Amino acid sequence: MIKAINIIGTTRRAATRGLSFTRVNDLLLGAGFPTPLLVLSRSGVRRNIEQLRRALPAAAIHYAIKANNHPVILEEIAKAGGCFDISSYQELRSAVEAGARAGEMIHSHPIKSPREIADAVGEGVTLFVIDNPSEIEKFIPYAGRVRLMIRFKVDGGSAVVNLSYKFGCSEDEIVPLGIRMRELGIDYHGLAFHVGSQCTKSEVYVKAIKTAARQIRILENLGFTTRLLDIGGGFPVEYTQAVPPIRKFCEPIRNALRRHIDPGIAIACEPGRYISATTTTLVASIIGKSTRSGKNWYFLDDGLYGSFSGRLYDHCQYQTLTNRNTTWKRSVLAGPTCDSFDVIYKDILLPPLDIGDVLLFPAMGAYCSVSASSFNCLRKAEYVVIE
């Protein structure tokens, strides 16, 4: 069962990175901003970049734009000297508009249309990821202009979203892919893996790094020089379950890179969630209430078709914060659409709420607004940017 958290008290207020109910009422709702609102903190972006840099000093940060492509997030990353991991031409354009250079990006989507490749190369992207022979063939027209990395499959059992189900070659396919590149005159540049999204065990990274080290040695004996190892993203953030501080989580990863990877090989990582999730708090209002089968039903002005799309696609449980502190009852929290599927939480402990009451949902900056829709022609949550 999910339980809402009362925000009164400094520890609960810290969970929203300083976005208290008082501030919401005075600065946002009092200024006429209608809910639902996504409140994005610029300083939160900078803080997360710096914390990850301290945790993984050997790795260049390539932010995974798919997590949240809001221009402010991209601008702060570019200003901080970060690079970008892109999966489409439009992500590329968004990063360029934010101040990034196309030549410093990694196009990490293992499957790309010929048009996508042509557009990316035309903008100056040179580094791409592949995981199968058919994909290599698409780069024949660009031999001498591009560099390819081979993505291999890793154990995704410790991640909330297993990305190895869809992408990554097996370990014994790595060398044949490298040989095929050489036959076609296309440059081999390195190896890549992704342990999955919201990974809770750093040991999975360690295992993948050891696999990469073993394959790098095999490739070297065949005349291939590995210049870059991309360890992907997946670094966890705290939702309703506690996770280790990022420096502690990354300690085994740092040690594995130091022990198993030659210092002459560059390291890259692709954080998305870790950079964007905790930068953003959803502010939403109760627009309706009812009692059905002994449960209180509350209807929110945002739901599964909107910002809570992350409940479906990202399998996330988000904190629910309230400023009421009365008797808690089993309740249902539903979204605003006319679809009965639009139920956010079917069994949540909430205090009695009234129409117009506001709830806060921290850490909704990743995989929420990017997959939201305007079903029923309802307005998607708009962003308000704060320092």
pLDDT value at position 14?
36
What's the pTM? 0.93
Residue by residue, pLDDT tens for the chain (387 residues) are: 666 665 443 333 334 555 777 777 776 777 778 899 999 999 999 999 999 999 999 999 999 999 999 999 999 999 999 999 999 999 999 999 999 999 999 999 999 999 999 999 999 999 999 999 999 999 999 999 999 999 999 975 565 566 667 899 999 999 999 999 999 999 999 999 999 889 989 999 999 999 999 999 999 999 999 999 999 999 999 998 899 999 999 999 999 999 999 999 999 999 999 999 999 999 999 999 999 988 999 999 999 999 999 999 888 999 999 988 778 899 999 999 999 999 999 999 999 999 999 999 999 999 999 999 999 999 999 999 998
The residues facing 37 across adjacent strands are 283, 382
The residues facing 159 across adjacent strands are 199
Distances (CA, A) of 275 to 101, 176, 369: 19, 35, 15
Q: Please state the domain extents for the chain.
A: 2-41+279-386, 42-276
pLDDT value at position 20?
73
Asked if residues 349 and 314 have their Cβ atoms less than 8 Å apart, the reply is no
CA separation for the pair 204, 166 (Å, rounded): 18
Fold of 42-276: TIM Barrel (3.20.20)
pLDDT value at position 29?
72
CA separation for the pair 382, 380 (Å, rounded): 6
Q: Please state the CATH superfamily assignment of the domain spanning residues 2-41+279-386 in this structure.
A: Lyase, Ornithine Decarboxylase; Chain A, domain 1 (2.40.37.10)
Residues contacting residue 2 through CB under 8 Å, at least 6 positions apart? 240, 317, 320, 345, 347, 348, 349
Distances (CA, A) of 136 to 140, 148, 175, 194, 232: 7, 8, 13, 20, 21
Q: Note if 338 is an active site residue.
A: yes
Catalytic residue among 169, 338, 368, 377: 338
Counting every residue written for the chain, the total comes to: 387
